[in-house]
């Protein structure tokens, strides 16, 4: 059966679409997971609802030959109820996601992205919004470092 994974940050324009596409690309290269995992993203806030991803996230993905089209949306209880795993960018998203999940029917597992990086357990993925492109590159590196652990955890499901 399909595993639904949702990546979550605050506005769903910088970190979560970036992480969602990088995760999607990693899953696509893994024969054990490519047909079994569905990845999407959302934000805890609705302030960017309907917007595309931030230009720096989009440019970074485009340089890697990955898709950059996106429409920001907010995490709702019905959306949370469709997920098996919610991967969050930081401890504030963790708190917000847990309360949204707790209000619903199903119980998605909620985890920090960087918890899957053995070198960075318990760390936040800092919000690059308002910072130069180098902050987005650092976010991409930190996400990439967590990908092997995320894939391993998905294979075990």
CA nearest neighbour of 114 among 85, 135, 131, 91 = 91
Residue 143, classed as helix, strand or coil, is helix
Catalytic residue among 84, 90, 96, 127: 127
Residue 19, classed as helix, strand or coil, is helix
What span, in angstroms and rounded, lies between the C-alpha atoms of 44 and 75?
6
Active site residue 127: yes
Residue whose entry in the numeric block shows the structure tokens 């990088």? 22
Catalytic residue among 14, 15, 96, 114: 15
Distance from first CA to last CA of the chain, Å, rounded? 10
Active site residue 9: yes
CA nearest neighbour of 75 among 8, 125, 20 = 8
User: Which residues lie closer than 8 Å to 69 by C-beta, 6 or more apart?
Assistant: 52
Catalytic residues: 9, 15, 127
């Amino acid at each position: 059966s399909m595993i639904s994974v949702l990546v979550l940050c605050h506005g769903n324009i910088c970190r979560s679409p970036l992480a969602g596409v990088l995760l999607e690309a990693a899953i696509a290269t893994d024969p054990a997971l490519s047909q079994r995992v569905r990845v999407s993203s959302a934000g805890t806030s609705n302030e960017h609802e309907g917007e595309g991803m931030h230009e720096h996230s989009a440019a970074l993905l485009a340089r890697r030959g990955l898709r950059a089209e996106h429409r920001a949306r907010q995490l709702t209880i019905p959306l949370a109820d469709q997920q098996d795993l919610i991967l969050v960018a930081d401890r504030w998203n963790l708190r917000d996601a847990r309360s949204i999940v707790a209000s619903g029917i199903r119980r998605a597992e909620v985890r920090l992205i960087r918890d899957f990086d053995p070198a960075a357990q318990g760390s936040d993925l800092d919000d690059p919004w308002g910072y130069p492109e180098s902050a987005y590159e650092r976010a991409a590196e930190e996400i990439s470092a967590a990908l092997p652990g995320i894939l391993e955890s998905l294979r075990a499901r």
